[in-house]
Structure 1
């Protein structure tokens, strides 16, 4: 796809906006930022966001080009605020050989054997929350789901009940609030508050690490595995790096999963015919115990989860830096620019998906398999060598949540609430999902 001399080609259409800040403010504030420009310019256009000229590319062909040319034309990139707040040792920030090496180490925490161990802990935590929600009767569900996923992430990644520590939770929420912000490190800005929270969070995580180093080795959680892991030269990971990696895992295992689970609960409530089919599958399978092996047999639930992640993807896209000028669709993508691929617009492609704005899990049935018509047309976890390392963990947690929920409970959306989706930092319903929650047949 690259010509011998791409530099002679035109730049993509588009507008850089204001000097220095470009269109960054519109990018943050306008939920239809990409949509408007896509309608005006097509599937590739230029803008300027996060202080960098940027090409936004939409669609499965663009994703294929990007994901198969990582480390050739493109290198991983994050907005400045995200890069600083995740930390230089975070897997999300690392590049090249270092990234591959650390990815191999961290992936041990997401192997099938580890996931099988996690399932019973997830179930135990979820059961306690289901009982709590039943007692509440009516509740605002989104913040409760956040507490649940954070409990799970703390237990399975750090081995602690840190979620019971309200100070830790508060600091974490403040840190997340600045991840995608304008990096002004003043005390009252989102970024300034997040920087302070990061420092205090890392102090608490370091205390946990030092305690664990005094205890017998354990493989029950990600921290235990990281403490024992060695790199290619046989060296153990340093405490500073483990702190950044743990913070990244807590973010990835909590923020995006909260969004995905809340979207699943909302869409099932809005589509009772789909919920009925999910229940029917559970009754037919009739497992009293939910193991990772049993979960594999829930094929209709798989389709539902894929459709939830297609319709309301928790992550909107990903940045790359152009390390070598290249050509795509007849346009020059200059060295030093940023590229942003787009997940929601990819998932709305009507050349791939029939009536893409409809919630239709059957589109993923083997007889239709709409996502298989083009590579990288279903990318809730990204793709290529930087595909989300916790993909199977996320699917396990969503599946377990859905199976236990539909077996034992009913939930009804309370009237008069705004269910429109706020897109950032991860999508959630505006009024945070108010429901009536009751035990089945009670």
Structure 2
């Protein structure tokens, strides 16, 4: 017989939880097992940790959980973004995902790569005029510009800058101004949608205007706006975080970086812009990207609302509970990843392949049917950016910094990651 909810081990989150999230949750996982609860968030909350918990939430029992309710605990997502892919549940999500899948195939990636490389070159080359940059801030500008042009078909220059400023204000500005910001964004996006209906294009916005479901229904303007908002905000946030941390790790690990540089020479040679096939062949760089994902996942815990009673590990969990499946606790588990606090990209290479020995252990991009739709886009973008920087620039950490990841709903380096830059 299942034990009652109140029998689930109760933990108290310390005051520095936001700065030591990984160590704290990994410690609770080791001490209490794959389920524990807290009262820190104002209502009954459970943490589900480890690969079996990840599988339970993402695949085998996913319909017992709501993304809409879960993300709504952090943001008023409907008010800020509309109801896009991130917050849709059940059949509605499956239908919309099927409609959007074609835009993230290899054929589309070939179209996105030239846009990525042009923006990367322009932005990174401009670093030389200032000599010192914050990697996190610069990565945010690059990844947003790429998303705005490649995914939403926005014009380079003033239009992209206008949207970047609006989305930045939406995410980080004054709450009292959000209604005005959303009204402005909606008006601008409706204008873009109208343009796409009159003159079809091959970007994702153009695809969303044209696509139909099995019954021949098109997406409404409101649905297209919501999906665009989520693609631009969620898409560039993930790439921003991973790009900055990957570069930081490589700068501080010169032995491994030498191997990455050797691979770059072998794969690209004298070519300035890599092809999609060349990016796929950057195995040494890819293992480093996976290690950045493991050590610094952009989202520490996946939020879900429990919408149906379930039993897990002998405990009864009722509907109405807030659930967090802990990405970072899995990533820092020594039974899954040897010496989990150490930078060791070779853990992902043959013959070790630690992530493949236990499915659902590396889940920075999610897993199961709802694995991140843009995972290939993000990985290509991050590797293209890192490749260009390493081949053209020499980076050195500005001395005296305290580099620290801080987590709320998402993660970011508290005071940025400042680097001195010069031409290689």
TM > 0.5: yes
Secondary structure of residue in 1 paired with 2:60: coil
Partners in 2 of 1:424 and 1:89 — Cα distance? 22
Relative to structure 2, which stretch is displaced further, 308-317 or 423-432?
Answer: 423-432
Partners in 2 of 1:85 and 1:355 — Cα distance? 43
Match of 1:366 in 2: 350
CA spacing shift, 1:227–1:392, aligned 2, 3 Å? same
Partners in 2 of 1:246 and 1:390 — Cα distance? 13
Match of 1:348 in 2: 332
Q: Work out which of the residue numbers 198, 203, 217 in structure 2 matches 1:235.
A: 217
Note if contact 2:19-2:405 (Cα within 8 Å) is conserved in structure 1.
no
Alignment of 1:174 with 2:169, yes or no, is: yes
Offset, 1:297: 1.4
Secondary structure of residue in 2 paired with 1:46: strand
Offset, 1:363: 0.6
Match of 1:91 in 2: 85
Alignment of 1:156 with 2:150, yes or no, is: yes
Q: Work out which of the residue numbers 106, 109, 116 in structure 2 matches 1:112.
A: 106
Match of 1:12 in 2: 8
Partners in 1 of 2:259 and 2:66 — Cα distance? 43
Q: Work out which of the residue numbers 261, 271, 275 in structure 1 matches 2:243.
A: 261
The higher relative CO (CA closer than 8 Å, separation ≥ 6) is in: 2
The superposition leaves residues 120-177 of structure 1 with CA deviations (integer Å, 9 ceiling, x where unpaired) of: 1101111111210122222223212211111101101111136635443232112223
1:11-410 matches, cutoff 5 A: 11-14=7-10, 31-32=20-21, 34=25, 37-38=28-29, 41-48=32-39, 52-76=43-67, 77-80=70-73, 81-161=75-155, 164-165=158-159, 166-177=161-172, 190-215=174-199, 217-219=200-202, 221-287=203-269, 288=271, 289-410=273-394
The superposition leaves residues 238-257 of structure 1 with CA deviations (integer Å, 9 ceiling, x where unpaired) of: 11111111000001221111
Secondary structure of residue in 1 paired with 2:325: strand
Offset, 1:106: 1.6
Offset, 1:318: 1.2
Note if contact 2:5-2:317 (Cα within 8 Å) is conserved in structure 1.
no
Partners in 2 of 1:124 and 1:275 — Cα distance? 24
Match of 1:183 in 2: none
The number of residue pairs the alignment matches comes to 416
CA spacing shift, 1:103–1:34, aligned 2, 3 Å? same
CA spacing shift, 1:195–1:388, aligned 2, 3 Å? farther
CA spacing shift, 1:192–1:270, aligned 2, 3 Å? same
The superposition leaves residues 332-379 of structure 1 with CA deviations (integer Å, 9 ceiling, x where unpaired) of: 111221221011111011001111001111111111101112110000
Structure 1: runs of 5 or more not aligned: 18-22, 179-189
Note if contact 2:209-2:219 (Cα within 8 Å) is conserved in structure 1.
yes
Match of 1:422 in 2: 406
Partners in 1 of 2:118 and 2:298 — Cα distance? 25
Note if contact 2:63-2:90 (Cα within 8 Å) is conserved in structure 1.
no
CA spacing shift, 1:27–1:409, aligned 2, 3 Å? closer
Note if contact 1:14-1:41 (Cα within 8 Å) is conserved in structure 2.
no
TM-score (norm 2): 0.91
CA spacing shift, 1:309–1:75, aligned 2, 3 Å? same
TM-score (norm 1): 0.87
Note if contact 1:27-1:49 (Cα within 8 Å) is conserved in structure 2.
no
Partners in 2 of 1:343 and 1:417 — Cα distance? 27
Offset, 1:88: 4.5
Relative to structure 2, which stretch is displaced further, 115-124 or 130-139?
Answer: 130-139
Partners in 1 of 2:109 and 2:162 — Cα distance? 29
Secondary structure of residue in 1 paired with 2:394: strand
Note if contact 1:145-1:262 (Cα within 8 Å) is conserved in structure 2.
yes
Note if contact 2:3-2:315 (Cα within 8 Å) is conserved in structure 1.
no
Secondary structure of residue in 2 paired with 1:253: helix
Note if contact 1:352-1:374 (Cα within 8 Å) is conserved in structure 2.
yes
Aligned-residue CA RMSD (Å) = 2.4
Partners in 2 of 1:27 and 1:430 — Cα distance? 13
Note if contact 1:307-1:361 (Cα within 8 Å) is conserved in structure 2.
yes
Secondary structure of residue in 1 paired with 2:400: coil
Partners in 1 of 2:77 and 2:268 — Cα distance? 46
CA spacing shift, 1:167–1:299, aligned 2, 3 Å? closer
Structure 2: runs of 5 or more not aligned: none
